[in-house]
Structure 1
Amino acid sequence: MCGIAGVFHYETMKPVDPKRVEVMTNALAHRGPDGAGVWTGQGIGLGHRRLSIIDLEGSPQPMHSSDGRAVIVFNGEIYNYRSLRRELVQAGARFNTEGDTEVILAAWQKWGPDCLSRLDGMFAFALYDLGRRQLFLARDRLGVKPLYMARMPGGALAFASELKGLLAHPLMRREIDPLAIEDYMTWGYVPDHRAVLKNVDKLPAGHFMLLDHGKPVPAPQKWWDVSFAEREKGSLEDHSAQLLHHLREGVTSRMVADVPLGAFLSGGVDSSSVVALMSEASTRPVTSCSIGFDVESVDETTYARQVAKLFDTDHHERIVSADQFSEIDRIAKIFDEPFADASALPTLRVCELAREHVTVALSGDGADEALAGYRRQIFQLREEQARSMIPSALREPVFGSLGRFWPKADWAPQPLRAKTTFLSLAQSGEAGYARALAILAPEQRAALFGEEMLKARRDYRAEQPFEQLMRNAPARSGLDCAQYADLKFWLPGDILTKTDRTSMAVGLEAREPLLDHRMIEFAARLPVRERIRGKTGKWLMKHTMERYLPADILYRQKQGFVTPLAQWFRGPLASEARRISSSSLLVDSGWFARKSLSRLADDHISGRSDHGRTLWQLLMLERSLVHLQPGA
């Protein structure tokens, strides 16, 4: 795993200052503590920081092809590089190293952009072809690895694995995009179609760009997509056998490393399945890492220990305090852009623990999106069934009225919190699912925003691109559309961003075996009944893993990392909640209304309402804006 950075002059082939690329690259030193390199040519500069995983001594970067006609900087892993290498050797390619980086170079020289469909892995890379004078930027299918880009004065495109790499460029502009604040206050992160700074873009997952000197910067081209439009043939047991095959392939392919390797283990279905299949494939005990909390109601270490004992793993765990708010500034620096998924705090802790024992850790990310494991997906299936039985002309006035007048009862038991459900049923399936996923609904955001923000966002609403993604999804059902949007929008923007930044912050490579693209494509073809059955999501995976895992692991209620935000802002962070309401970065800018923020804080601290998540969003936004200031 590594960090990459570079500069490409697309207007003229003026020289690139190697010191400028070096400064950008050094800003990513945490991603690659084992080595660094810079290469510059006419109109191009490439920089690299290396975390050595495969071919520890023999694959320094930037790397040239064996004939010297192409050079690459690469972040990620290609899991099928050995079979690709054999195929390329048979076709006449020559290799000087034993790693996967040189395989990408040879694959480009033989197949051009079509080489991407042959790569099984997670990656973001920049490859410069000296013969064609062309830059090839590419990102993996699902967006496991990031790539930021910014146009600089003088006709240059700068790029880097993280925003901090771009911020190290002396000509980088730091103008906040108010539409990114609208997006962030909706989702809790800035999605991949936007960045927090106006002149910054992110290369979308499953896309590439080909840039030529003397030509404008082109739009990214899609090279991979997943379709939910077909259904897999065969019996339930056929599907179970196929799923198990894909799970095994995903796990075993990601166990290739020349450094110590282990797994995150929460005791949930996904991480337990990964550990089970790793144990099956390994001749040595798997190294497993778990964290627990000093609050029993949110602690899952009992389940993690149960799985560790079942598979006789080399298990490591650490109990941490639920009061982790001292890490707020560190989290803001790690993510650069505002990021309000509070589970980033415990994720960082488990990455720190894992790094004490291994250099590579397998995670359970991706199965919920691919196989319908979220509760919101189960609700979406039921709501779509209800929508199909009630005409929209009746749904909108009846459920809309109920939703508007039903109290927002944060204190009430779950079945009595019907406001969101009523409002969702009054809308289309796309709008209803967007409302279920959003942290703040449009009317809630509007109540917080100041005049300048309302003026700047005009008719734009953060839900619009999400709903458009669902409407255009290659899908057959409402559940299909929801899962497609989760894979394309939520997964790269939230889940994979969280895992990438927290693992890279401590020099750990995280791999996602449940995001093997063949498994994702297979899961998208499964009948709805094999994804959700009754109240059970991810049903086929649980059924399949019954041969490995006990029922209390497979069928207990999904929990995940829990951070006690509500308690924090009524206790040790109460003063922060009040301070936010007068923050110059939030209020003086006109983005937020002072009175609205004050009321929000007062209502939460007094216990009248639960605004813990919103206060956390505001706090993380402010901290991120501080770190984005020049000289910060």
Structure 2
Amino acid sequence: MSGIAGVYHLNGRPVGEELNRVLDGMEHRGPDGADTWCDGPVGLGHLMLETTPEDEYESLPLVDRSGNFAITADARIDNRDALIKTLDVRKPNDRPITDTELILGAYKRWGRDCPKRLLGAFAFAVWDFRKRTVTLARDHFGIRPLSYVHRPGQFFAYASLEMALVRAGLSNGEVNDRRIADFLLVPVNVKPEETYWEDITSVPPAHTVQVTLEGRVDQERYWALDPEKETMLDSDEAYIERFRELFKEAVRCRMRSATPMASMMSGGLDSTSVACTAAQQLQGTDRQLHTLSAVFDSVPESNERSYQETALEMYTEKMIPTFFEADEMGPLHHLSRTIEHMGRPSGGGNGYLHAELYRRAADQGLRVVLSGFDGDTTVSHGRKYANELLWKGRWAELWNQIRDSVEFHGGGRSRARSAFLSLIRHYLRTHPLTRPLAKAWRQLRGMDGSEAGKEQLTIRPEGGAWGGDAWQKYFQASFLKSTATDVREETPTNRWTSERKHHHMMLRRPMMEDMLRALDARAASMGVAVRFPFYDVRLVEYCLSLPGHLKHRNGWGRWIERASMGGILPDEIRWRKKKADLSPSYRQGLARHEKDRFSALSERFASGGSALARHLEMKAMAELASQVVSEEPLENSGEEVLLLRAASLDEWFKLQDQKELHDKAHIA
């Protein structure tokens, strides 16, 4: 995790102080030094956080020996050995080859197609003297951030953080209401490249962006998941072994660290699989793994201490635990710092747990943290495997699947029959051959509510759903009207006809990139780098390609991961039926530790002093904040999420006012 920036004056004017101002706006990403390189109208900048053994030898920005290329990069390359062999890169006598040298070698060989050959987390920019072009690239899942501003005929500027461009006066600072609406749970269409500012564009994951001397900006995708690809192996055992190989490699290649390693370990399946796999790979070495765990001893429903201790007992010699008593801290404790370093509002309800654990890792001199995010999506619970059996006409298998799932959750045969018949009725209502007959039958019986039942908008926040229009009382009518043309239609989850198609959709959700960026930013704010084994391209592609019965079996979601972790993960964790429910601890934390914050927020909303007055009905929002202060339960999870996101947005707007980000006097 580092920071990169650059300015390209399209009118030939020499680069001035803009580049330094951009770097100043994100200096927390480079505690190990900053440097710039300028040549007439082009400038590159870099902020360094050393995390790998090779980082000690990085000197960025880098200009190659021929003088034809300059590069700045925020990167960790995982397929180093393969690239060194393919590119035939000469190793210097006194040091190892750096990751940036490998990226530049790949660019010189394959041009802007080079990201196709790279594995890891990266964002980089290459200035090509011969072609007079700047090429930006971002990794497959968008773990490392990179955004730009383009003023035709004037300049093209980019940076790891959007707010750095605003602070440098390279953006006009006008807020993008579509992103605001989306953040506040209004289901609007937001393109992957849209940011919270109207004139700042994000390089989408798995894309390159190239700008020419004439100012033409060309965006190109270099990779995409294939929802049609299916892996065919001889047996379930072969699938399990292949998963185990890929998962071990995903963890191993992320353990390249210049400091002792740390791993998040909640006690759940995903993070503990990562931690235990890392600990196992340290067997036979003198290295140890620091584990980072949050506990809630005063909230039993949320506490996973017993599972964490079970894993620690299995790797007593290799794991060094750090426990954070999370019930002693309010959920918004790190909000201001997080938003300051993200440069955007923070919507993660449990983000304070990550931020505090990252801080404790940094206090121990640990700069690399492994994370179990987001095994649920990568491996998949296989929840649409029943739909797949239904649409393939494998109804006997469907019955067995439903019966096992219902029994797994404590239900009986009558409930299983009801669920089975419900799916059959859905199939008959929606199949192209029977849909006209089903519709005619409903009309005959006066049951067709296809038109009357439509809602103008439906909000589906985390943990719940609002239907109808009751939620609209919290929004300014003018704000909803201005975004109404961008409203997207949600596809009901029962329409998916195969597990793989649904899995593909889940992996491609825009929220996944947002969450990865948020975790990266929280880690950066504490001076550490977070790495995600479940977002290894090879592992993700393999999991998507698996047959549905390997994702969901006998009631168990993510079955193949559970089966593959035998001998690595304690069985008590491997075959857990339920996760801990963090919502009670979250609500207790709000009541115990955040009353003063919400009391002030209620007063601020009631007075109309918040910039959110343009988006939300302040009186209604003030009442919600007052309910938290008085410990009155909110009606549903939608209100809770909306209130917390409003608090985050309010903090973000205040930050902009404090930093005077709308001062246009510095715009180049």
Shorter chain as denominator, the TM-score bin is 0.7 to 0.9
CA deviation after TM superposition for structure 1 residue 565, in Å: 4.9
Letter in 1 for 2:254: R
The 10-residue stretch of structure 1 (513-522 or 566-575) with the greater mean CA deviation from structure 2:
566-575
Please list, as runs of the form range in 1=range in 2, the aligned pairs for 1:308-457 lying within 5 A after superposition: 308-312=312-316, 313-320=319-326, 321-357=328-364, 358-373=366-381, 387-391=426-430, 443=469, 446-457=472-483
Residue number among 503, 517, 524 corresponding to 1:483 in the alignment:
503
Residue number among 648, 654, 658 corresponding to 1:626 in the alignment:
654
CA deviation after TM superposition for structure 1 residue 2, in Å: 0.5
Q: Go from structure 1 to structure 2 and tell me whether the alpha carbon gap of 1:588 and 1:114 turns closer, same or farther (over 3 Å shift).
A: closer
Which residue in 2 is equivalent to 1:293?
A: 296
CA contact (8 A) 2:299 2:585 kept: no
Distance in 2 (CA, whole Å) between partners of 1:562 and 1:346 is 13
1:254 is paired with a residue whose SS is: coil
Deviations 1:210-267 (A, max 9, x none): 111113222x211011112132212211110110010011111111223322211111
CA contact (8 A) 1:185 1:440 kept: no
Please list, as runs of the form range in 1=range in 2, the aligned pairs for 1:8-407 lying within 5 A after superposition: 8-9=8-9, 11-17=10-16, 19-54=17-52, 55-89=54-88, 98-152=97-151, 155-186=154-185, 192-218=192-218, 220-234=219-233, 235-282=235-282, 283=285, 284-297=287-300, 298-312=302-316, 313-320=319-326, 321-357=328-364, 358-373=366-381, 387-391=426-430
1:325 is paired with a residue whose SS is: coil
CA deviation after TM superposition for structure 1 residue 400, in Å: 9.7
CA deviation after TM superposition for structure 1 residue 80, in Å: 1.5
CA deviation after TM superposition for structure 1 residue 15, in Å: 1.4
Distance in 2 (CA, whole Å) between partners of 1:273 and 1:340 is 26
Cα RMSD for the two superposed structures: 3.6
Deviations 1:320-341 (A, max 9, x none): 3142434332232232222221
CA contact (8 A) 1:77 1:122 kept: yes
CA deviation after TM superposition for structure 1 residue 498, in Å: 2.3
Residue number among 537, 544, 558 corresponding to 1:517 in the alignment:
537
Gaps of 5+ in 2: 389-418, 662-668
Q: TM-score, normalised by structure 1?
A: 0.85
CA contact (8 A) 1:263 1:363 kept: yes
Q: Go from structure 1 to structure 2 and tell me whether the alpha carbon gap of 1:613 and 1:260 turns closer, same or farther (over 3 Å shift).
A: same
CA contact (8 A) 1:16 1:44 kept: yes
CA contact (8 A) 1:3 1:75 kept: yes
Residue 556 (1) aligns with residue 563 (2): no
Which residue in 1 is equivalent to 2:393?
A: none
Deviations 1:258-300 (A, max 9, x none): 3322211111111111122212222233222222235332222
CA contact (8 A) 1:150 1:199 kept: yes
Residue 612 (1) aligns with residue 618 (2): no
CA contact (8 A) 1:450 1:591 kept: yes
CA contact (8 A) 1:73 1:125 kept: yes
The 10-residue stretch of structure 1 (278-287 or 231-240) with the greater mean CA deviation from structure 2:
278-287
CA deviation after TM superposition for structure 1 residue 20, in Å: 1.6
CA contact (8 A) 2:368 2:530 kept: yes
Gaps of 5+ in 1: 405-422
CA deviation after TM superposition for structure 1 residue 479, in Å: 3.5
CA contact (8 A) 1:192 1:492 kept: no
Please list, as runs of the form range in 1=range in 2, the aligned pairs for 1:525-540 lying within 5 A after superposition: 525-540=545-560
The 10-residue stretch of structure 1 (231-240 or 254-263) with the greater mean CA deviation from structure 2:
254-263
Distance in 2 (CA, whole Å) between partners of 1:504 and 1:108 is 27
Distance in 1 (CA, whole Å) between partners of 2:468 and 2:323 is 41
Q: Go from structure 1 to structure 2 and tell me whether the alpha carbon gap of 1:389 and 1:305 turns closer, same or farther (over 3 Å shift).
A: farther
State which structure, 1 or 2, has the greater radius of gyration over its C-alpha atoms: 2
Which residue in 2 is equivalent to 1:414?
A: none
Distance in 1 (CA, whole Å) between partners of 2:568 and 2:179 is 44
2:508 is paired with a residue whose SS is: helix
Distance in 1 (CA, whole Å) between partners of 2:634 and 2:120 is 49
Which residue in 2 is equivalent to 1:420?
A: none
The 10-residue stretch of structure 1 (102-111 or 300-309) with the greater mean CA deviation from structure 2:
300-309
Q: Go from structure 1 to structure 2 and tell me whether the alpha carbon gap of 1:180 and 1:529 turns closer, same or farther (over 3 Å shift).
A: same
2:566 is paired with a residue whose SS is: helix
Q: Go from structure 1 to structure 2 and tell me whether the alpha carbon gap of 1:41 and 1:615 turns closer, same or farther (over 3 Å shift).
A: same
The 10-residue stretch of structure 1 (614-623 or 256-265) with the greater mean CA deviation from structure 2:
256-265
Which residue in 1 is equivalent to 2:486?
A: 460
Distance in 1 (CA, whole Å) between partners of 2:643 and 2:459 is 23
CA contact (8 A) 1:74 1:126 kept: yes
